[in-house]
Amino acid sequence: MKLVIAEKPSVARDLAKALGVSSKKRTHFEGAGLRITWCFGHMCELAEPVQYNPDWKKWRLELLPMVPEKFDINVRKDTKEHWEAIAKLIRANDVTEIVNACDAGREGELIFRYVIQSAGEEKPTSRLWVSSMTTEAIQHAWDNLQPGSSYDRLADAARCRSESDWLVGLNATRAMTCMVQKTTRTKPLSIGRVQTPTLAMIVSRDIEISNFVSEDFWRVDGLFSPSPEQDQQHLNSENPPPNNTDDNTNPQPNTWTARWFRQDKISAIKDQSNGKELAPEVSKAERLSSEADAKLIAAACQGKKGTLVEATHKEVTEKTPLLYDLNALQQKANQRFGFSAQKTLDLAQALYETHKIITYPRTDGRYLLPDQMTTIPPILEQLKDIAPYRTHIEQFLDEPLRSGKRIFNAKEVGDHHAIIPTGKSPMKCHLNADEKRIFDLVARRLLAVFSPDAKFSASKLVVSVETDDAPLPSGIVSPLTFQAKGKVCLNRGWQLIDPPPPKKERELPQLTKGQTVFNHETSVHKGQTRPPKNFNEASLLGAMESAGKELKDSEMKRAMRSAGLGTPATRASIIETLLNRNFIERKKRHIKATELGVSLIQAITVDELKSAELTGRWEARLNAIAEGQDTRAEFMKDVSQHVHHIIETIKSSTPPNVPALAEDFTEEELGVCPKCATPVRMRGPVFTCDTGRSCEFVIFNTIASRKISKRMVKQLLTKGHTSHVKGFKSKKSGNTFEASLRLNSDGKVVFDFSQSPSKS
């Protein structure tokens, strides 16, 4: 008998259907020599600090860092009943093999390994690795089960992720909370290995925008033509009629506008960038800080002859885009529809799991495996049934499909390939409007990668103008240089089916280097520098993805391709966590840090806790562990050393005074804490003092099934005991009893039966 464990009930149902298991029990499916049960996501978690060391119950800086010799696992209370059913199935005598059918990725592996570890049963395991939930894909994967040991490295990476989050998150949260509480009474500060560097990026961008001071600048434009007389037909040819690429009957513009720039600055930029022009720097080379200087340049060129020192006209190719991974799909959906990262993930998950019309969405792969080439034509045939795709598919389906490493590249595929349609017709599914939008993105991208490249005609004209003896601004010498660039589409290729954001086209005349041209008019235009843009979810996802990749060495760049803050599967939840904790907020499509978020980052005195690059490098190491290029032991050793460094740095730093982090103390004072003499107030399910978790005093608002009132707490804090109270209930026997409550010498609440008529 094989026991199959899925990650969620819906997946178990799909597995049962595909594998012919029809008998449904309360906790599993059974039949054909199989039992198929399910988890509810993460059912087990790492143990709390107090379970390793009783002293770790106290929030004290001197007790840190907390580094267990070995991590233990707890079953989550809200899943315990179902976990016991799974454990019983695992331990059944007739079960000889256990199949891991949890999601095919790092977290799915961790869910399964924790369940097996908690059950305490060692039986042979195998792995069902599925990238599509169609019946055919499940059956194919079932016929190709892999030994569970083949995924031990992936499990190592998963455990490292979980344990490093525990070590950094819990230690840093306690250390920073204790440190800040030396000057500010605050609730526990939430610090996370990935969440905090992400917040730090947002805060940094907001501060940069807030501190930005706009400056005026001026530019000079010149109107040129190859003849001394103005060509009125094309006098304003900045927006010429679209070029007809079929018959080329559209006349070439004869007049064009070019912009003055400092040639010496452009040369310096090229020298510093290995010959490449960097757009922001080139833009600065076109600017003047004085209107008077701009007018001098304009006057010096007015009506002068010029010489074309550069005239290039060439055909350029825009290659097809890469297929989508989750991160790229989330970015596109945010740009196109304004969807949040979490909404896109939820929609993609529904298309994968419920409708089964796209492949596994939680992937960081943007390529396909070479052996998938034969699976593409049937998918395209199914997409032909959809009217918007039909004509485009027919244009290239009769020809051999494009291949090459831009599409099929085994070296670039990790756990999962790129997101593509499965071949199941969406016409048979009841998709809502948003699900249709996400499927359309995925389908159009697949069609785009097999379409022809886009072709453009790109032109560049550079004019040198001698100004004779005309006065010029200080530091600027004759000749003056003007530049114009143009680009016209010849063949849209893939852009017909997957259009990028529209760009303004501009056609320039076909001229030759050395040709004499004439300036007919010069004009001065005022502009202002603009601050950086606020993050939106698309740009934030891009920044999270690129964290840790700023490396010059090409070999290291390849090794770090999987670096970043979090993974495609977790970035959406990181953003949602920051939103839920009120560290950031959405304002229309912008994401900004709240006052609380800014204050938290300002309070953190350890740069490593805020370092996106460091966390990105750690994520790359987790991927290296999964690929066998790093080891679990070395990684955890480095994390442990890093945690010790963080704690020592916090201990030796000056406590920050950040009033914005102060807890709200508007709740009524009920008395004075017997241990630290600060006011005691009601906070949620407990009564605690203003000192916070660094003080051990606490009174729970429910004791032995009876609610504790504020009046009773006031009696305890002023008299040391309450009056006689009815309504307590024994947990062991279920009997009710009466008693007084009393504070003992340790400041803990105990029962006092000395005045009670009945005792438990």
Active site residues: 360
Q: Are 658 and 599 in contact (CB under 8 A)?
A: yes
DSSP, collapsed to helix, strand or coil, labels residue 460 as strand
Contact 594, 661 (CB under 8 A): no
Whether residue 571 contacts residue 541, with contact meaning beta carbons closer than 8 Å, is answered with yes
CA distances from 503 to 148, 239, 486, 671 (A): 51, 12, 11, 68
Buried b (16+ CB within 10 A) or exposed e, 358-367: bbbbbbbbbb
Contacts of 105 (CB under 8 A, 6+ apart): 360, 362, 415, 416, 569
Distance between CA atoms of residues 586 and 340, nearest Å = 10
| CA-based nearest residue to 310, from 209, 458, 527, 440 | 458
80/82 Cα distance (integer angstroms): 6
Q: Determine contact, residues 326/333, Cβ cutoff 8 Å.
A: no
What tokens does 414 get? Answer: 């990790």
The helix (H) or strand (E) run that includes residue 542 is: helix 537-546
In this structure, the strands spanning 584-587 and 73-75 are unpaired
Cα–Cα distance between 61 and 24 in angstroms, integer? 53
CB 154 within 8 A of CB 567: no
Cβ atoms 192, 267 nearer than 8 A: no
The C-alpha atoms of residue 490 and residue 494 are separated, in whole angstroms, by 12
**To 10 degrees, what angle do helices 326-337 and 433-449 make?**
120
3-state secondary structure 552-621: CCHHHHHHCCCCCCCCCCCHHHHHHHHHHCCCEEEECCEEEECHHHHHHHHHCCCHHHHCHHHHHHHHHH
Distances (CA, A) of 578 to 19, 90, 592: 41, 38, 11
